[in-house]
Chain A
Amino acid sequence: MTESTILPAETTDSGTVTNASARLGHREREVMDIVWAEGSGTVEEVSQRLPIRLAYTTVMTTLDRLFKKGLLLREKHDRAFRYSPAVSPQEVEGHRARALVDRFLQSTTAQPEMLLSCLVDALGEYDGAMLDQLEHKIREARESLNTAEADAKEASR
Chain B
Amino acid sequence: MMLSPLLRTLCFALASGGLLLMVLEGLIWRFTPRSVELTSTRSPRLTERWFLSATLSARILPWLLACGALVPAYLRGEDNTSAERVALPCIAVASLVLLWISAAIFRSAITSLRTQRYCSGCQSTGRTVAGRQVHVHHGSHSLLAVAGIFRSRLIVSEHLLEEHHVAAPALEVALSHEAAHASHHDNLKLLLLSLLPRVGFSSARRSSLDDRWRLAAELAADHESTAGDAHRSLLLADLLVVLARDRVAAPAVMVTLLSAPDHLRLRVEQLLRATAPRTTGTASLARDSRLSILSLSAALLALAGACALFGHSAAELLLHLG
Q: Report Cα–Cα, A5/B211, bound state, in Å.
A: 12
List residues of chain B with CB within 8 A of the CB of A37.
Answer: none
Q: Report Cα–Cα, A84/B199, bound state, in Å.
A: 34
| Total A-B residue contacts, Cβ distance less than 8 Å | 193
Is the pair B177, A4 in contact by a Cβ cutoff of 8 Å? no
**Is B178 located at the chain interface by the 8 A CB criterion?**
yes
Q: Report Cα–Cα, A131/B240, bound state, in Å.
A: 10
Is the pair B111, A118 in contact by a Cβ cutoff of 8 Å? no
**Is B314 located at the chain interface by the 8 A CB criterion?**
no
**Is B129 located at the chain interface by the 8 A CB criterion?**
no
**Least CB distance, A52 to chain B, in whole angstroms:** 15
List residues of chain B with CB within 8 A of the CB of A100.
Answer: 199-201
Q: Report Cα–Cα, A103/B207, bound state, in Å.
A: 13
Which of A39-47, A73-81, A134-142 touches B? A134-142
Is the pair B241, A134 in contact by a Cβ cutoff of 8 Å? yes
Is the pair B254, A4 in contact by a Cβ cutoff of 8 Å? no
**Least CB distance, A112 to chain B, in whole angstroms:** 3
**Least CB distance, B292 to chain A, in whole angstroms:** 22
CB within 8 Å of B: which A76-114 residues: 100, 103-108, 110-114
**Is A123 located at the chain interface by the 8 A CB criterion?**
yes
List residues of chain B with CB within 8 A of the CB of A105.
Answer: 100
Is the pair A112, B110 in contact by a Cβ cutoff of 8 Å? yes
Is the pair A3, B207 in contact by a Cβ cutoff of 8 Å? yes
Closest to B117 in A: A114
Q: Report Cα–Cα, A148/B68, bound state, in Å.
A: 60
Is the pair B264, A137 in contact by a Cβ cutoff of 8 Å? no
Q: Report Cα–Cα, A142/B103, bound state, in Å.
A: 49
What 0/1 pattern do residues 158 to 183 of B give for CB contact below 8 A with A?
Answer: 00000000000000001001100100
Interface size on B, residues (CB 8 A): 78
Interface size class, chain A: 35 or more
Q: Which of B36, B145, B199, B266 contacts A118 (CB 8 A)?
A: B145
**Least CB distance, A125 to chain B, in whole angstroms:** 6
Is the pair B253, A117 in contact by a Cβ cutoff of 8 Å? no
What 0/1 pattern do residues 1 to 29 of A give for CB contact below 8 A with B?
Answer: 11111100000000000000001111001
Is the pair A114, B118 in contact by a Cβ cutoff of 8 Å? yes
Closest to B215 in A: A1
**Least CB distance, A1 to chain B, in whole angstroms:** 5
Also in contact, A107 and B244, with CB within 8 A (given A29-B204, A117-B190): no
List residues of chain A with CB within 8 A of the CB of B262.
Answer: 1-4, 25-26
Closest to A135 in B: B241
Selected A-B contacts with CB under 8 Å, 20 pairs: A3-B211, A4-B204, A26-B262, A100-B199, A103-B199, A107-B107, A110-B107, A113-B254, A114-B251, A118-B143, A118-B145, A118-B250, A120-B258, A121-B261, A124-B244, A124-B261, A134-B268, A137-B268, A138-B237, A138-B272
Beyond A115-B254, A123-B250, list 5 extra A-B contacts (CB 8 Å).
Answer: A114-B253, A115-B149, A119-B178, A123-B254, A134-B265
Query: Which residues does A use to contact B, with CB under 8 Å?
Result: 1-6, 23-26, 29, 100, 103-108, 110-127, 130-131, 134-135, 137-138, 141-142, 145
Query: Which residues does B use to contact A, with CB under 8 Å?
Result: 34, 36-37, 99-100, 103-104, 106-107, 110-112, 114-115, 118, 141-149, 155, 174, 177-178, 181, 186-187, 190-191, 197, 199-207, 211, 230-231, 234, 237-241, 243-245, 247-248, 250-266, 268-269, 272, 274
